[in-house]
Amino acid sequence: MPNYRLSRAAQLLGVSDDTIRRWAEAGKLTAGTDESGHKVIAGVDLAAFARANAGELASGTQATTPASARNKLPGIVTNVVADKVMAQVDIQCGPYRIVSLMSREAVEELGLAPGVIAVASVKATSVVVAMPMEQS
């Protein structure tokens, strides 16, 4: 599973770097260090935190003006539930929880799992999930 530097974790949750540092210092998020000595958060831990704290993340957002019908929302996969044919993928995009229904085969091909970064592309009621060019 991937690890994310604090600044990337902040981007994914839609908060400041300082907020992530405070949460790590307070023990709300578990941070370790990578081989370069940078503080990092395990993707699985970040996904669990995003899911458990979605309400708190949403309370800090401000209203936005309407945008085009084509919105690309980077986020972190928080849950995948799959059966033989279909799957439900939950992605926390900052304070927003995006849910996509897709084939199990697509989930496997994309490597979608809790802690992985994905991009939700939203148009009307359809959500298309793509993988960013780089994972960190």
Clarify whether residues 52 and 10 are in a common domain. Answer: yes
Are 56 and 92 in contact, with CB atoms under 8 Å apart? no
Higher pLDDT, 121 or 24: 24
Q: Domain with 13 in it: what CATH number?
A: 1.10.1660.10
80 domain-assigned: yes
64 domain-assigned: no
Which among 107, 106, 99, 93 has a CA at the least distance from the CA of 126? 99
Q: Does the pLDDT value for residue 111 go beyond 90? A: yes
Residue 97 CB neighbour total at 10 angstroms = 17
Clarify whether residues 9 and 45 are in a common domain. Answer: yes
Clarify whether residues 39 and 86 are in a common domain. Answer: no
135 domain-assigned: no
Q: Could you give the CA distance from residue 14 to residue 120 in angstroms, rounded to a whole number?
A: 15
122 domain-assigned: yes
Q: Could you give the CA distance from residue 130 to residue 112 in angstroms, rounded to a whole number?
A: 10
Clarify whether residues 105 and 75 are in a common domain. Answer: yes
| Domain hosting residue 35, numbered range | 3-59
Give kind and range of the element (H or E) at residue 78. strand 71-82
Q: Domain with 107 in it: what CATH number?
A: 2.40.50.100
Give mean pLDDT, residues 94-116: 93
In the chain, the number of structural domains is: 2
28 domain-assigned: yes
Could you tell me if residue 86 is left (phi over 0), alpha (psi between -120 and 50 degrees) or otherwise beta?
beta
Convert the pLDDT of each residue in 67-92 to its tens digit: 444 577 889 999 999 999 999 999 99
Q: Could you give the CA distance from residue 18 to residue 29 in angstroms, rounded to a whole number?
A: 13
Convert the pLDDT of each residue in 40-63 to its tens digit: 999 999 988 988 887 666 555 444
| The model's pTM | 0.61
Clarify whether residues 36 and 84 are in a common domain. Answer: no
Convert the pLDDT of each residue in 12-26 to its tens digit: 888 888 989 999 999
Q: Could you give the CA distance from residue 97 to residue 2 in angstroms, rounded to a whole number?
A: 20
Clarify whether residues 114 and 77 are in a common domain. Answer: yes
pLDDT at 85: 96
How many helices (H) and strands (E) are present in the chain, helices listed first?
A: 5, 8
Give mean pLDDT, residues 89-108: 92
